[in-house]
Amino acid sequence: MKTQPNVRSQKEQEFYSPPPIRVGIVQFPGTNCDFDTWEAVRSVSGLEPSWLSYQTDSVREIDAVILPGGFSYGDYLRTGAMAAQTPVMKAIRKFAQEGHPVLGICNGFQILVETGLLPGALLINASRSFICEDSPVVSLTSRTPFTSIIPEGTRINLPIAHQEGRYYLPEDKLRNIEASGQVVFRYANNPNGSIHDIAGVSNPEGNVVGLMPHPERRIRHSSSPPDGLLFFESLLISLRNRMFQRTAPDLPLLK
């Protein structure tokens, strides 16, 4: 007797053999942490990195975007100011407004602030000097795609390397982001004079995150506790859960 072929629906195929999560890594003139970020994304099975040029005016077939650290356009005018005017940032603004995950690391954080996707400003360090050292931070929320598996109150050790990383926001707006849970990380030992020890913030929706420390530099077990992997594993699990909710809403979420 002839049997019917086992033809799975697209939803079933996505559930049993989910496609990789495609992470776009933006390259500006002067970016220098792009390859570190590529390796960090590639180190998590299920994530697939790809390059995004600063000249592109659309973000297609990408599930998340990371703006890596460096010195885009030589930090002329203000850190991140020139990069914020590029075609790719116009596309990323729309991408973020649609609810997709966007992470800015160091210079990437500065660029997100300059574009208005994140609140505040990043000023020269209180010491007036470049700081390059390990700096422990404390996680305050797991509601973002990049902190979904990091419990509140977790202390993680990440390196910093910046001269203009002192976070500032006027007091009235500062109260608003504190009350709405937009402060994502605080420094345990404030190295740069950031107001309220703030090391990272999100937009009100939580899908856009910026931080000054470098998680992509803490991914290897051989050199240090790989605390930075938590960010990239969080992204994978967060987007997988989003997919499972679409294809199999009755299943429990991954943790």
Active-site positions read 106, 214, 216
Q: Where are the extended beta strands (E) located within 99-154?
A: 102-105, 121-123, 131-139
**CB 146 within 8 Å of CB 65:** no
The strand pair at 155-162 and 131-139 is best described as antiparallel
Contacts of 142 (CB under 8 A, 6+ apart): 148, 149, 150, 151, 152
**CB 192 within 8 Å of CB 165:** yes
* Site of tokens 């300059």: 114
Distance CA 196, CA 67 (A): 24
* Site of tokens 């995150």: 209
Distance CA 28, CA 82 (A): 10
Distance CA 113, CA 117 (A): 6
Distance CA 105, CA 173 (A): 22
